[in-house]
Structure 1
Amino acid sequence: MKLVQSLIVAALVAAPVVSFAQSQPQQALTRAEVRAELVQLQKAGYNPASDNTQYPRNIEAAEARISAS
């Protein structure tokens, strides 16, 4: 009996998580679009293999250079 109750509780808890995971944007990026964006960032000076401690600052600077041009 406790097993059945545990399964019911688990299903009730998991239901919102599953429904949230399915609500993705209608227009997802394709692999080619992501690749093109990465190439554009690299041309703007972003190096994904660079120092990881500066990650947010480095990519934000590259994005700012792209938007400025």
Structure 2
Amino acid sequence: MKSLIQAVVVAAALAAPALSFAQSNAPVTRAQVRSDLVQIEKAGYRPGDDETHYPVAVQAAEARVAAQNGATSGYGGVASGVSQSGGRRVSAADWNAMYNRP
């Protein structure tokens, strides 16, 4: 009896992650895709206009749509700003001064 309870607990522990996906696996309909495209076009994205800035332009339009729809949290979107790591930039004169002895 004790081994049966242990087997049920182990089976439940292994089955729980499979039932807790954050996404639905339902297919997206053609109407949903069309409405999304209309929304980002209203936000300023023009498909085929300037393909050199494609990812940036569509992500900016999606961010505007998300802001209009009130999405304040989540993952993805447009990263704005600049990040920097390390110290100051070292010029060639600094390198020469560092390695050449007088």
Verify same fold: TM over 0.5: yes
Q: Deviations over 1:4-59 (max 9, x none)?
A: xxxxxxxxxxxxxxxxxxxxx63010001000000001000000021111000000
Q: Percent identity?
A: 51
Per the normalisation by structure 2, the TM-score is 0.42
The gaps in structure 2 that reach 5 residues or longer are 1-23, 69-102
Matched position secondary structure for 1:59: helix
> Does residue 39 of structure 2 align to residue 40 of structure 1?
yes
CA RMSD of aligned residues (A): 1.1
Higher relative contact order, structure no. (Cα contacts within 8 Å, ≥ 6 residues apart):
1
Matched position secondary structure for 2:62: helix
The alignment of Structure 1 onto Structure 2 pairs a total of residues equal to 45
- Return the structure number with greater helix share: 1
